[in-house]
Structure 1
């Protein structure tokens, strides 16, 4: 039986090579055969949506300012590339619009909502409505059930996935409990799928159970070949990685 190839999602772009959540990282990811990119998004003080993981710029930038109380102009003055190397000096925080403009046809975006304010969703709807984006090109994802619930009301046409983190991975003793907790959380939110931290609690039986409940099953934290190949054998729908080309090559070796 032919093995189905999962979608490869580049976590914050090709973040092993370029500064995370930037246009260079996203372009490299697509060059490295990623199907989707994944980015994190916040709303600025002047109602622009920007792509950055943290609520401030201290970890990735050359200065520290808070995203939600800063204007786009202020944020654009932060260099988020220099820490990755001189070749990325001058790289700026991209807007969602700038990210959408570099997504090729037949490719897409895992859009992680970090900002839980309703104004974010209002602005997001304006931006998505103003772009020629097919519904298959966007997946809205979040760790927060309230965000997913709201997203399904604002964007019923887009799939929305609940992310469940590393805290469900506690070793063999907790495997059964982790699975029960995940199913319980999923029962409280109307979502189309789940994004699971790829660790010991994931097995073929559990993936099959989720799929039987009509959930898309996505995985992240996949940074080696053997893990990727095992997840393919479990029939997951997508694999999120910092190194898309490595994972693409690993999957290509499966006979």
Structure 2
């Protein structure tokens, strides 16, 4: 496919290790770590309130290669960046994202739950994130529950096109979702933007399933619980790349280095980047 691009090449071949022996593997070298894309999950979410400017700024300071963001839509049709389909967990408000206007969401405190120093952090809009970070850090855009927001694919595509990010080069853009149909649509709308699918089940990582996914996607992004050497080999054999989530321990990061994945999606960017 003409939008394939390579990251994470040149990793030294590791010894074949069983899942039970991973804990005893030697820690990967700094050189090996540099070959893997470091994707800050909702920003540096371990240290700052997820999906906020504070979290993304910290991820940039921590030298992440990408920030991962979650996109939904407000009641009045504005694209907003928040993970849950309600605002209850990460703000001082309540209600479903799709039932609140942008003004209502902007009035919420999206930071204090993580610490008093983050009081007043807002739910950012998709456009705010694009304008602040494109060209500065890669952006992995997750379409969160797109089935709840008919037409959101066209809105996201239009926002990227307006900023000439539909042909990403140095401004690294990837789209992903658990909704495979949404990603098929995004592949049609933005044929030059790399597409990823999120997976959580071994049934989604069979050779047959991967072959079907490879018809429209460049990335297969599974939970690390289903990552094996065979899955990585199968993904690479189809000219796709693999980015795994969500790393919250050194052991999980080291396991994925051993598996030779192309990207690690983590709440702790410092667990992946040897410069931290």
What is the TM-score normalised by the length of structure 2? 0.80
Structure 2 unaligned spans of 5+: 1-11, 13-30
Distance 1:113 1:180, change over 3 A: closer
| Alignment: residue pair count | 239
Deviation at 1:237, TM superposition (A): 1.0
> Contact conserved, 2:157 with 2:186, CA < 8 A, in 1?
no
Does residue 245 of the first structure (1) align with residue 267 of the second (2)? no
Aligned pair partner of 1:195 in 221, 225, 229:
221
SS of 1:239's equivalent in the other structure is strand
Deviations, residues 29-60 of structure 1 (Å, cap 9, x unaligned) = 11011100011110122221100011110111
Q: Distance in 2 between matches of 1:112 and 1:180?
A: 18
Does residue 158 of the first structure (1) align with residue 184 of the second (2)? no
Q: Distance in 1 between matches of 2:84 and 2:259?
A: 32
Select between 9-18 and 232-241 the one with higher mean Cα deviation. Answer: 232-241
> Contact conserved, 1:47 with 1:123, CA < 8 A, in 2?
no
Match of 1:223 in 2: 248
| RMSD over aligned Cα atoms | 2.1
Deviation at 1:183, TM superposition (A): 3.4
What is the TM-score normalised by the length of structure 1? 0.86
* Equivalence map 1:127-206=2 (5 Å): 127-133=159-165, 135-136=168-169, 137-165=172-200, 168=201, 178=202, 181-189=205-213, 190-199=216-225, 201-206=226-231
Deviation at 1:243, TM superposition (A): 0.5
Distance 1:182 1:77, change over 3 A: farther
Aligned pair partner of 1:61 in 87, 91, 97:
91
Does residue 29 of the first structure (1) align with residue 59 of the second (2)? yes
SS of 2:243's equivalent in the other structure is strand
Q: Distance in 1 between matches of 2:273 and 2:261?
A: 14
